[in-house]
Amino acid sequence: MSGSAEPYGSEGLPLAEARQRVLAAIRPIDSIATLPLHQTLGRVSASAVMAHAAVPGFRASIMDGYALGQISQPDLGDTWTLMGRSAAGQPFDGTLTGGEAIRILTGAPLPEGAGWVLPQELVAVDGSTLRLVKQASDRSWIRPAHEECQPGDTLLEAGRRLGAADLGRLAGCGITDLKVVAKPRIGILISGDELIPPGAVRPPGSIWESNGTLLETMLQSLGQSVAHRRVVADQPEALRQCLHELAIDCDVVVSTGGVSAGDTDWIRSLVDELGAVDFWKLFLRPGRPFAFGTIGNDIPFFGLPGNPVAAAITALQLLWPALQIQEGQSEPELFPRVKVELANPLVRRPGRPELARARLEANEEGTLLARVDGSQASSRIGSLQRADLLLELPPDAGSLDAGTRLWAQVIRRRIF
């Protein structure tokens, strides 16, 4: 290995600095597609979207009541003559003048001349006469014609990952199609002589391969898709060929295993041969044996650890933000951080900063709690099950008592 690949000694690069270096090296994909609105959930907008009309486009009643032919606040005892009715989709065809009113329903258009709506609970009706019998507020209860937007308003910025609320608003403003950035083509290489397919007879010393399934499905849950997934034994020529082929056909190459310093850890040296290793090692637990660099024509390479939990954690912290930038997102959406209290004691030794897997709970007072159950070993996938939090444990912290306050990343996804 060249000296430039490991300038941080035995400790490794702090996570925040590693993320900064990764994101500085990533460039968005320049391929754009136009898709029907209903097919764009989770995609990233390629251009801004402007409103071409006012929405709702007419003044509307906020509640069921009566529209008055005046713009001033009515007084107790005032009366009006009822002239008709306006409902959603069935507007009153006429104009109101002083002393006139119509029955109006929620969302219905106000006719010309109407400037006030009285809630139905405040009035009494006697034939065609409407009388105010309870004091009216100073609110007119009218929704303006441009409440949602007016022509020229920016409905959506470029570089935004689209949620349900974005799509609902765009549909409500008459938008049918969107330009979105193409998704990165992800190639995953899983290396190891000991790996056999799940379900196969397991020879002595072998393990069923799980990292491929864990990483691919985790990326799917984040809205990404894997173009290629290959399992290759620890043979330099086969690994070199696989890395080369993935770099040709993919926008990002991800490996798991083979980036540490063992006798059969070939990946790091092969990437340095096919491109360049920018940095190696993280000051983090789990996830120390991590490598980042490029292959071939500046295709980003992420060398994840071989232990499954370490591979998943480093993918969330470094690969996922990079994929967001590749897909055109203006800023990566990192997991929100909150302060929590430990729900139970935690035994650990000082050393590296750690991202422990925990469940989010709350006590009767509403205090957010983090419960850490079972082993936190980087090889134990069970520690990821039901995890809501990545609990940030400082490097100098030893065993921690229940009630200790810590920062935690919330790894649940937003709905809207």
In the chain, what are the domain boundaries?
Answer: 3-31+183-326, 33-54+148-181, 60-143, 337-410
Which has more confidence, 258 or 55?
55
Partners of 361 in beta bridges: 369
Which tens digit of pLDDT belongs to each residue from 80-91?
999 999 999 999
Q: Where are the beta strands (DSSP E) in 32-162?
A: 32-36, 49-50, 60-61, 65-68, 79-86, 100-104, 116-119, 123-126, 129-132, 142-143, 154-156
Q: How confident is the model at residue 264 (pLDDT cuts 50, 70, 90)?
A: low
Q: Name 6's Cβ contacts closer than 8 Å, sequence gap at least 6.
A: 279, 280, 281
Q: What is the average per-residue pLDDT within 113-133?
A: 97
Calculate mean pLDDT across residues 381-393: 93
Q: Does position 24 have pLDDT exceeding 50, yes or no? A: yes
Q: Per-residue DSSP letters for 135-170?
A: ---S---EE-TTSSB-TT-EEE-TT-B--HHHHHHH
- Band of residue 3 on the pLDDT scale cut at 50, 70, 90: very low
Report the CATH fold assignment for 33-54+148-181.
Molybdopterin biosynthesis moea protein, domain 2 (3.90.105)
Average confidence (pLDDT) over 355-377: 93
Domain 60-143, CATH 3.90.550.10 — does that match? Answer: no
Per-residue exposure over 206-220, b if at least 16 CB sit within 10 Å of its own CB, e if not: eeebebbebbbebbe
For 337-410, CATH number out of 2.40.340.10, 3.40.1400.10, 1.20.1730.10, 1.10.3720.10 equals: 2.40.340.10
Which tokens in the block code for residue 172?
A: 């409500």
122 vs 128: CA distance, rounded Å: 16
Task: Give the H/E segment covering residue 405.
Answer: strand 405-410
Q: Which amino acid is at 16?
A: A
Residues 392-397, mean pLDDT to the nearest whole number: 94
Burial group, residue 336, by CB count within 10 angstroms (0-12, 13-18, 19+): exposed
Grade residue 259 by pLDDT with cuts at 50, 70 and 90.
confident
Average pLDDT over residues 52-68: 97
Residue type, 269: S
Second-level CATH architecture of 3-31+183-326: 3-Layer(aba) Sandwich (3.40)
- Phi/psi for 153 (5° steps) reads -65, 145
Q: Which of 220, 212, 207 shows the shortest CA–CA distance to 188?
A: 212
Q: Residue range 192-202: average pLDDT? A: 90
SS3 track for 167-208: HHHHHHCCCCEEEEECCCCEEEEEECCCEECCCCCCCCCCEE
Task: Give the CA distances from residue 267 to residues 1, 178, 261, 313, 374, in Å, rounded to whole numbers and listed in that order.
Answer: 11, 40, 10, 20, 32
- Phi/psi-derived region of residue 269, left when phi > 0, alpha when psi is between -120 and 50, beta in every other case: alpha
Of 237, 219, 230, 220, the closest CA to residue 197 belongs to 230
H or E element that contains 98: none
What average pLDDT does range 247-273 have in this prediction? 88
**CA–CA separation, 181 and 68 (whole Å):** 50
Looking at residue 4, its pLDDT comes to 41
Nearest to 399 by CA among 348, 334, 335: 348
Residue 2 confidence (pLDDT) above 80: no
Q: What is the pLDDT of residue 1?
A: 33
**The pLDDT of residue 27:** 95
CA distances from 388 to 133, 145, 210, 314 (A): 55, 43, 21, 16
